[in-house]
Amino acid sequence: MWRRCTSARASATAAALAAVDAEYNSSNATPKILTEPDRMIHPLLYIEKYATGARGARLTQRSTQQAEAARGNTAKYAAGEGMRYEWISFTTDYGLADAFVGTCHGVIARVAPEARVMDVTHGIPAGAIRQGAHTLAQAVPYLPGAVHCAVVDPGVGTARRGIVVVAAQGLLVGPDNGLLLPAATALGGAETAFELASSAYRLPEVSATFHGRDIFAPAAAHLATGIEPARFGPEVPLDRLERIDEPVARLDGGTLRTEPLTVDGFGNVQLAATGAQLAELGVRAGEPVAVTVHGSRHSAVRGGTFADAPVGDLVLLSDSAGHAALAVNGGSAAAQLGLDSAWASQECTVTVSPTETAPGVSTA
């Protein structure tokens, strides 16, 4: 039954997209050859992008059911029609040394044996909610439509809520501690949220220390089978959900003041400042910059990739997510800057400014 539903949705989506292609090209003198980025965006957004004007309005009217099949928005949940998901993504700070991840996989498999689990990462530093939130938000736009289960939960066993957030392009399950909302924004914005309160969608016995296994994994699995989010518990107003603090990212004259967002396994330090803000700083490729972290001043070079700095030296660049980042050619920027695994719990402002000093050894 699940496969038939999936096939029907895929056929409806393909029909809606084909109708838009035909409508767009019939109303333009030069037919548009649609590029892969055009076709990779969310189907309903694609329809809204190209089906404009009176002709587009007629198309939208006669394609309503097809478009809704492609979108899977909250209207169908209100009508009691659950949407099934083939994929569950899984992001945690559990690491891989213990059986935590495998146990959660097993819980999901027992509830939703046809769902596939995609492990995004289990290497978030322990309790690093902000790093987990930004890591998840940067990953979800590249994942298939899914129930996204995320657990970075230093408050496990306390009064903090478990929630499911309904976003425009997916569902997110996890603790109400700010972890999920950046990803909801990346998925088109949060639309509604519900507390995971019903005992029907959790394990019979709930421990005080492993809600990933006992609450979040079974909730994600039940959602993947088509249980609508409203059945899990009372609605939580979006303005009452916990949020992480907005990181510092601003230009003060000729200085860029920002904070670390994430540190990856190579020791590259992603900053809250964007690549656009880095461009506004006015430093050209190959020019030196001064980087100050925890009161220590380091020399770096503005570059476009890692090899633009000598081996062992710092380079300031724009990363694949569109953020400013600090890296070391052949080494770890986190280690060189003193940003160890506990950095997420430390107040840390990074300042970057042009300098006439060539890259080299840091000074206190």
Instruction: Give residue limits of the domains in the chain.
Output: 2-70, 87-240, 249-354
Looking at residue 15, its pLDDT comes to 52
Looking at residue 342, its pLDDT comes to 53
CATH code for residues 249-354: 2.40.30.90
The 10 Å CB-count burial string (b at 16+, else e) for 312-348 is ebbbbbbbebebbbbbbbebbbbebbebeeebbeeeb
CATH of 87-240, one of 3.30.70.930, 2.40.50.140, 3.40.50.10790, 2.60.40.1840: 3.40.50.10790
Looking at residue 341, its pLDDT comes to 56
CA 91 → CA 138, 321, 364, distances in Å? Answer: 12, 18, 37
Same fold, 87-240 and 249-354: no
Per-residue pLDDT of the chain (364 residues; tens, 9 = 90+): 343 344 444 444 445 445 545 554 544 444 444 333 333 333 333 333 333 443 333 333 333 333 343 344 444 443 345 789 999 999 999 999 999 999 999 999 999 999 999 999 999 999 999 999 999 999 999 999 999 999 999 999 999 999 999 999 999 999 999 999 999 999 999 999 999 999 999 999 999 999 999 999 999 999 999 999 999 999 999 999 999 998 889 988 888 999 898 999 999 999 999 999 999 988 889 999 999 988 889 999 999 999 999 999 999 999 999 999 999 999 999 999 988 655 554 456 778 777 754 444 444 4
In the chain the first and final C-alpha atoms are separated, in Å, by 65
Looking at residue 340, its pLDDT comes to 67
Looking at residue 105, its pLDDT comes to 98
